Amino acid sequence: MSLAGKTILLTGGTGTFGRKFTELVLRDHDPKAIRVFSRDELKQYNMRIDFDDDPRLKFLIGDVRDRDRLYRAMNGVDIVLHAAALKQVPSCEYNPFEAVKTNILGAQNVIESAIDNGVQKVIALSTDKAVNPVNLYGATKLCAEKLFIQGNAYTGGRPPRMSCVRYGNVVGSRGSVVEVFMKQRMTGTITITDERMTRFWITQKQAVEFVIMCIDLMQGGEVFVPKLPSMKTIDLADVIAPGAEKQIVGVRPGEKIDEVLLTEEESRHTLEFETFYLIEPEHKFWNLEQPDGSGGKPLPDGFRYTSRDNGWIMTKDELRSLFGELETV
């Protein structure tokens, strides 16, 4: 599905993903309009200035908790990208009711508004923390995934088709470990929660390009998982702040040593492609003969995709190259 001439609604559009998605789609895909839907008028104002008041950008103040506002915002929309979420783990732990209202009830509001407005396709952004979640943020994103996949049961074969994209840490996103280490290196001391910790790693550009590809491939009901490199957090600290003292502070509540993008149970109904995995739904609305499954191969029994055992751990030189690119952006 080409994005050219399409009207796209982007929830959480002033966030890290939203800004990069807007940049690349305006530059390369010539949409009719991108509606940036978010709560913060200052961020919208700054984004409008940064994009030189591009006439294809429409800024809509609203909250995904407000179904009526979403309903109005989706009128005439072809594609919805759902990126709005409360995502900081400590914040969600301390404000659990708010996390549920935004990440779960907000997802339901997006789905119902998209169905009622006849949107063609909806993709929701998920996270590795939704897999075997150990914190409330991950649990709310797991619920959101289930809502979007099972939301296809409400459409009766009509639009919209709804799918999810699940990936790992985004390089340079707000509140990321890169941002923390860059601030800490000025003090000469880096805090490490655990020397064994690993994380999946994806750049902003890669995340956006993967989502755009999935919009084209999706049939409705899939979870798309890109094949990603991993990094050791302690190696990243060495690259960002060479020579700095490392202070081990212990694993924080709700934090894992390693992340998982694909479980053994999911692998039983997953197809492997060259650059991604496609988790098929296990329910009747899924047509196994749909074309996006062509060329994929089943995974071996017991397959599990983790940040420690994925066979693609970035070296310090690779991290230096990536970090150097990030500093010049």
Domain coordinates of the chain in residue numbers?
Answer: 7-168+202-227+261-305
For the segment(s) 7-168+202-227+261-305, the CATH number from 3.20.20.105, 3.40.50.720, 3.40.50.1000, 2.40.50.140 is 3.40.50.720
The pLDDT, as a whole number, for residue 285 is 61
Report yes or no: 144 and 103 within 8 Å, Cβ to Cβ. yes
Q: What's residue 134's pLDDT? A: 95
Residues of the chain with pLDDT under 50: 291, 328-329
What residues contact residue 28 under an 8 Å CB cut-off, 6+ apart?
A: none
pLDDT of residue 171: 86
Rounded to an integer, what distance in angstroms lies between the CA atom of residue 104 and that of residue 242? Answer: 41
CB 215 within 8 A of CB 1: yes
Per-residue pLDDT, 157: 78
Of the residues 129, 141, 232, 256, only one is catalytic, namely 129
101 catalytically annotated: no
CA distances from 147 to 93, 162, 226 (A): 21, 10, 21
Q: Are strands 169-170 and 198-202 parallel, antiparallel or unpaired?
A: parallel
CB 271 within 8 A of CB 277: yes
